[in-house]
Structure 1
Amino acid sequence: MPLPVVFIHGIRVSGTMWSPVRSCLTAPSAAPDLPGHGSRRGVPYDTDAACAVVAETIEELGGRALVVGLSLGGYVGISVAARHPALVAGLVAMGCTARPDWIGAGLYRIAGRLAAADPERADKMSRYGFRRALPGVAGEAVVEGGVHCEVMPSVVDAVAAEDPVASLATYPGRVWLVNGSRDPFRVDERRFLRACRHGSLTHIPGRGHLTVLADPAWLAGYIDGAARAVTGCACAA
């Protein structure tokens, strides 16, 4: 039996985002909501609190798991691997290979504050955008647990305060970096890859930042393979 998988969702959505992938997965899995998101709406967000949620979930699954995250989830996964390497048997980090910098962080802060100023309207626009980018089951899963744009400013501040490249360099386990070939967040992917002690880089042809979720069966197969690869591997701890 492969190790369990803990999935980490993206900004302003929830763990339901991963439901179609989880339904195709062989390995046991969990997809907790981060602070300020889904069932934890209203809980203050910071990186330490987000990492604590993931670490607690891993402990509940037996104390060791493959961690998979997309976008914000990928950045959180990197932070969890650096803070709790004994819990993270391996890491699949998707759509998160852009280093936070002052220009990008500034733009996202502006967008986050605009969204938080009128969260009802921003939530409605986000739901429309998610469903348009991912028609059908995948898009519905993204919005099923709620869309909560009011959390965006604190998330952007938290991500901007981290150094994901330095965090990757401290993690001794296996890392799979995965990006859609059209994802702008792959801009620093080679730098992230060089930081990994045991890393690989995979491109999903024709996919963008969110549309890597468009083929749940393929993605589940990829993640199952990663879970099998780290099961029983002492070097991943």
Structure 2
Amino acid sequence: MPPIVLVHGIRVSGTMWDPVVSRLTLLGRPATAVDLPGHGSRRGEPFSMEGATTAVAAAIDALGGRALVAGLSLGGYVGIATAERFPGRVAGLVAMGCTARGPSALGAYRFAASLAARNPSLANRISAYGLRRLLPGPVGEAFVAGGLSCEVMPQVVEAVAGHDQLAALAAYPGRVWLVNGTRDPFRANERDFLRVCRNGRLILIPRRGHLGVMAAPGPLVRLLGDLCDQVGAAGAVRSDGAM
């Protein structure tokens, strides 16, 4: 079965995936979480979609050269871009909380990003407080453990705005799972995203919001494990010449 590379959301870091990575490791599934430029251990670096996809590709290569890529929010958008740029490395794509596009979503995020960048230290403190309240206990602590990087948000928003996610999904030949909480406003255009996938499926998680899909690591690990098994089984069939 392929290993799993996990991609974080805006302003946080790969540590947000620690509860998931630890559980996957206990199950014997190789997994790693990458820090994107401008975030976590790479704070202070400029963010670009090219740099972000290169970081994901490097993490895939470190695990053998082919992996299931799963990302949440910004991580999902980066995962889509990685699948487009490096289709041979991405065995399958799990894009979570990243099916919103258009002027309204972009305008709201540009405004929030500009506010955060005016006083990053204050924005980081507010973000840390909000994340701990929204995701109490170890999950929330994992989100803030790698530090927050609100100063990079304007660069991130422009990079996502400048990438055509629908064209990227249409170009990717592998399996795609679009995963959204039913209460996530970022699912607004999920049907458009699903429509362009060559081999896509939409999975809805009841009563969860944008970050709520991370609130229960156990079910998320089971979902990722199942999708990883599906990718592995499909690859084994193709290698046997049956498809």
Which TM-score band applies after superposition, normalised by the shorter structure?
over 0.9
Distance in 1, Cα, partners of 2:183 & 2:104: 21
Deviations 1:91-136 (A, max 9, x none): 000000112x233222211211111110010000000110111011
Distance in 1, Cα, partners of 2:107 & 2:227: 35
Aligned to 1:55: 57
Aligned partner of 2:80 among 75, 78, 81:
78
Aligned to 2:13: 14
Aligned partner of 1:98 among 78, 97, 100:
100
Structure 1-normalised TM-score?
A: 0.96
Amino acid corresponding to residue 15 of structure 1 in structure 2 = G
Aligned to 1:69: 71
Aligned to 2:209: 208
Aligned to 2:185: 184
Q: How many residue pairs were aligned? A: 234
Which aligned runs of 4 or more in structure 1 are off by greater than 6 angstroms? none
Distance in 2, Cα, partners of 1:147 & 1:213: 18
Deviation at 1:48, TM superposition (A): 0.3
Distance in 2, Cα, partners of 1:169 & 1:59: 24
Aligned to 1:24: 23
Deviation at 1:228, TM superposition (A): 1.1
Quick one: percent identity of the two aligned structures?
59
Distance in 1, Cα, partners of 2:111 & 2:201: 34
Structure 1 portions without partners, runs of 5+: none
Distance in 2, Cα, partners of 1:232 & 1:206: 31
SS at match of 1:31: strand
Distance in 1, Cα, partners of 2:199 & 2:87: 14
Does residue 134 (structure 1) correspond to residue 135 (structure 2)? The answer is: yes
Deviation at 1:232, TM superposition (A): 5.4
Aligned partner of 1:33 among 10, 24, 35:
35
Structure 2-normalised TM-score?
A: 0.94
Deviation at 1:218, TM superposition (A): 0.4
Amino acid corresponding to residue 140 of structure 1 in structure 2 = E
Distance in 2, Cα, partners of 1:232 & 1:180: 27
Bigger RCO of structures 1 and 2 (CA < 8 A, at least 6 apart):
1
Alignment of 1:104-115 (within 5 A): 104-115=105-116
